[in-house]
Amino acid sequence: MTSETVLVPINVGSETDRAALFAQLAERAGRGATIVFMTVVPEIYLATDTDPKGTIEAMQEQAGVRLADVAEAAPFKVDRQVVRYGPVAPAILDVAAEIGATLILINARQKGRAVAYALGSVASRVANHAACSVMVLRH
Amino acid sequence: MTNPGNVAAAAQSDDRSTSNWLKFIIPSTLGAALFLMPVPGGDTWTIPFGVMVDWLNGNFGALLKWALVVVTMASAVLTLWYSYGPGKPSTPMMVQYFRTTAVWTGLRCLGAVFTVLYTTGTGPEWIISGATGGTVVGALMTNLLALFALASFGLPLLSDYGFMEFVGALLSKSFHFLFRLPGRSAIDGLASWLGAAALGVMLTVQQYDKGVYTTREAAVVATNFSIVSIPFCYVIAKLVGLSDVFFAYYGCVLIIGFVCALILPRIPPLSRLPDDYKAGTTNHIDATVREGETLVQAGTRLGLARARIAPNFPEFIKNGFDNLVFMWFSLVPATVAIAMIALVLVEYTPVFHWLSAPFVPILNWAGLAEAEAAAPSLVVGFADMYLPALIGKSIESQETRFLVAILSVSQLIYMSEVGAILLRANLGLNVGHLAMIFVIRTIIATPIAIFLAHYVVF
Over residues B246-251, the mean pLDDT reads 89
CB contact under 8 A, A62 and B202: yes
CB contact under 8 A, B96 and A62: no
Interface A:B, Cβ pairs < 8 A: 123
End-to-end CA distance of chain A: 29
The CA-based diameter of chain B, rounded to the nearest angstrom, is 69
Helix, strand, coil percent content, chain B, rounded in steps of 5: 75, 0, 25
Contact residues, chain B, for A94 at CB < 8 Å: 95
Q: What proportion of chain B, given as a percentage, has pLDDT over 70?
A: 97
Torsional class of B241: left (φ above 0), alpha (ψ -120 to 50), beta (otherwise):
left
Q: Nearest CA of chain B to the CA of A73: how many Å? A: 11
pLDDT confidence of residue A1: 53
Over residues A1-11, the mean pLDDT reads 87
Contact residues, chain B, for A53 at CB < 8 Å: 319, 322-323, 326
Mean pLDDT score of chain B: 88
Contact residues, chain A, for B232 at CB < 8 Å: 48
CB contact under 8 A, B3 and A54: yes
Reply yes or no on whether the pLDDT at B8 is more than 60.
Answer: no
Task: Name the residue of chain B whose CA is nearest to A41's CA.
Answer: B424
- Please count the other Cβ atoms lying within 10 Å of the Cβ belonging to residue B14: 12
The three-class DSSP label of residue B164 is helix
More confident residue, B90 or B218: B218
Q: What is the pLDDT of residues B168-218, one digit of tens each?
A: 999 999 988 888 888 889 988 888 877 778 888 888 988 888 888 999 999
Contact residues, chain B, for A43 at CB < 8 Å: 100-101, 104
pLDDT confidence of residue A113: 57
Reply yes or no on whether the pLDDT at A13 is more than 80.
Answer: no
Kindly report the backbone phi and psi dihedral angles of residue B145, in degrees, each rounded to the nearest multiple of 5, phi listed first: -60, -45
Reply yes or no on whether the pLDDT at B14 is more than 70.
Answer: no
CB B146 within 8 A of CB B279: no
Q: Nearest CA of chain A to the CA of B422: how many Å? A: 11
List the single residue in B3, B99, B331 with the smallest CB-CB distance to A58: B3
d(CA B288, CA B168): 9
Mutation site, A40, A51, A62, interface B, largest B CB count within 10 A: A51
Q: What proportion of chain A, given as a percentage, has pLDDT over 70?
A: 89
Reply yes or no on whether the pLDDT at A118 is more than 70.
Answer: no
Instruction: Label residue B280 by pLDDT band (50, 70, 90).
Output: confident
Q: What number of CA atoms fall less than 13 Å from residue B408's CA on the CB side?
A: 30
Mutation site, B424, B427, B430, interface A, largest A CB count within 10 A: B424
Contact residues, chain B, for A51 at CB < 8 Å: 1, 152, 155-156, 159, 195-196, 199, 323
Task: Name the residue of chain A whose CA is nearest to B144's CA.
Answer: A48
Task: Name the residue of chain A whose CA is nearest to B156's CA.
Answer: A51
- The DSSP call for residue B103 is H
Q: What proportion of chain A, given as a percentage, has pLDDT over 90?
A: 60
Q: Nearest CA of chain A to the CA of B434: how many Å? A: 17
d(CA B192, CA B260): 16
pLDDT confidence of residue A139: 66
Over residues B222-246, the mean pLDDT reads 87
The three-class DSSP label of residue B45 is strand
Strand order, beta sheet including A103-107:
A80-85, A34-41, A5-9, A103-107, A133-137
d(CA B359, CA B366): 11
Reply yes or no on whether the pLDDT at B13 is more than 60.
Answer: no
List the single residue in A50, A58, A61 with the smallest CB-CB distance to B229: A50
Over residues B157-171, the mean pLDDT reads 90
Q: What is the pLDDT of residues B367-407, one digit of tens each?
A: 888 888 889 888 888 988 888 888 888 889 989 999 999 99
Contact residues, chain B, for A50 at CB < 8 Å: 147-148, 151-152, 155, 195-196, 229, 231, 323, 327
Contact residues, chain B, for A59 at CB < 8 Å: 202, 421, 424
Contact residues, chain A, for B194 at CB < 8 Å: none
Q: What is the pLDDT of residues B324-355, one digit of tens each?
A: 998 899 889 999 999 999 899 988 999 888 88
Instruction: Label residue A68 by pLDDT band (50, 70, 90).
Output: very high
**Which of B288-313 are b and which e, b meaning 16 or more Cβ less than 10 Å from the residue's Cβ?**
bbeeeeebeebbbbbbbbbbbbbbee
Q: Nearest CA of chain B to the CA of A38: how many Å? A: 17
* Angle, alpha carbons B291-B4-B284 (nearest 5°): 45
Q: Nearest CA of chain B to the CA of A88: how many Å? A: 9
Beta-bridge mates of residue A85: A41
